[in-house]
Structure 1
Amino acid sequence: MPNKLGFWLIWILFSVYAFIFAPPDRPDTLQLILKLSTGDWQGTNALIVALFNLMGIFPFIYACMLASDGRGQKVPAWLFASLSFLAGAFILLPYFALREPNPTFIGKKNRLISLLESRWTGIGVTAIASYFLFYGFANGNWADFFQQWQTSRFIHVMSLDFCMLSLLFPWLLSDDMERRGMSSDRFFTFIALVPLVGALIYLCLRSPLIESEQEATA
């Protein structure tokens, strides 16, 4: 119960800060979003390009985790996973507040779960994320990024959303490892403490789900 209340409180504070106290939006925000979405990156800081695209990778990482975590939950994990591509942590925080501990996978894997938990899926996601990490760090302008972070609500909130998604991941990690019979405390600590990269490594290395003969109810 304290954890649930904590997630609701974080969600409220995060939302209030993002929509009330974050810097105001700049006049060119919609134009910037359009350019980023269509791949027209010329003249745009590479760090912003990388961050925008990684914010599409992170929800996919969560989809790979929620596919099995949602089995047996009272709330539809697939709905939160889908909407997180649009709203990031703003939609995932309520899921964390509503979900129950789920260290056992009930029933057999369906096609979607098999696809999202595949090691090859993890490798593919890691390859794409690695490209944008390299692109951003190799070509980005940190002074310009910090200036835009201070003056643009879009950049400011997107950066905080990235940090929030990084901080939330360990709350799913423990149950996911237990569903797979993985019990290494050192491995958990390493994955939990390395933002994004730790999650990518986990998707590539995690053991298969341990299925049961019990019928799934969700």
Structure 2
Amino acid sequence: MVRRSLLAVIWVGFLGYVLWLAPLDRPFTWTFARHLVTLHWGEINAYLLAIFWLMGVWPMIYACLMFADGHMQPVPAWPFWLGSNFTGVLCLLPYLLVRPRNWAFDGQQDRWLSWLDRRSTGLGLLGTAIALIAYALVAGDWPDFWTQFHNYAFVHLITLDFCLMGVVFPLTSLFDDDMQRRGIDPSRGVWAIALIPLFGPLLYLCWRPRLPGHTPPFNWASSIQ
């Protein structure tokens, strides 16, 4: 109950903050989108570009935990997950608030679930995160990014959204349920890895045991229900 209350406060507070700042009404947002679409990435500060792409890594981290029990949930996970790729925690949190706890895995893995369950997927996400952060450190201009953070609503909000994705992770029951589903003893202190921003969840995905089950022919529709 305490966790859900904290998640609800985060969602309501951040939603109100986004509506107040209204990033889509600001010229910088569209300038950034134009540079991104036209591949003029040299015009974008590497720190902002790295955070933007890391906001694609975070939904994949959550996907690796969300879809394993998606068949047993009363609310389908895939609309919220798709939305989180565009709006971060704003679409992700409503699902986490209504999702009942579940540490069982019922049925067989299709290829989508099998791919999410692989350690190689975690390693790929970890490598991507390391490469993006290294790119930002080498090519980015931190004073300029700090100035943009204070002056442009889009930069301000995407940075906060990135941070909130990490804050929310240990507050949800996804991580606890995933450990129990895989027979991991929480008394071993594995739960503490969730407190490490970004890299904790990624290291967990690289280490966790596989789920039981066979891999039938790929069925996208069933995998995202």
Q: Deviations over 1:15-72 (max 9, x none)?
A: 0012215789642321212323454211321101110110111111111111113231
Matched, 1:187 2:190: yes
- Counterpart Cα distance in 2 of 1:22 and 1:110: 41
- Counterpart Cα distance in 1 of 2:107 and 2:63: 19
In structure 2, which of residues 153, 172, 175 is the aligned counterpart of residue 173 of structure 1?
175
Q: Deviations over 1:74-93 (max 9, x none)?
A: 11012211221111100011
- SS state at 1:102 partner: coil
Structure 2's unaligned 5+ residue stretches are 215-224
Give the CA deviation at 1:151: 0.9
- SS state at 1:208 partner: coil
- Counterpart Cα distance in 2 of 1:76 and 1:145: 38
The residue aligned with 1:215 is: none
Give the CA deviation at 1:134: 0.7
Report the more deviating stretch, 84-93 or 115-124: 115-124
- Counterpart Cα distance in 2 of 1:83 and 1:207: 28
- SS state at 1:138 partner: helix
The residue aligned with 2:209 is: 207
- Counterpart Cα distance in 1 of 2:25 and 2:47: 18
- CA gap of 1:23–1:109, structure 2 versus 1, over 3 A, is closer
Give the CA deviation at 1:107: 2.0
Give the CA deviation at 1:2: 4.8
- Counterpart Cα distance in 1 of 2:21 and 2:87: 18
- Counterpart Cα distance in 1 of 2:37 and 2:169: 26
Give the CA deviation at 1:110: 1.9
Write the mapping of 1:118-157 to structure 2, written as runs, cut at 5 A. 118-157=118-157
Matched, 1:45 2:45: yes
- Counterpart Cα distance in 1 of 2:156 and 2:25: 9
* Contact 2:35 2:43 (C-alpha < 8 Å) held by counterparts: no
* Contact 2:8 2:97 (C-alpha < 8 Å) held by counterparts: yes
Give the CA deviation at 1:165: 0.7
The residue aligned with 2:222 is: none
Give the CA deviation at 1:132: 0.4
Q: Deviations over 1:159-187 (max 9, x none)?
A: 11111110122222111111111124422
Aligned partner letter, 2:183: G
What is the TM-score when the length of structure 2 is the normalising length?
0.86
- CA gap of 1:37–1:67, structure 2 versus 1, over 3 A, is farther
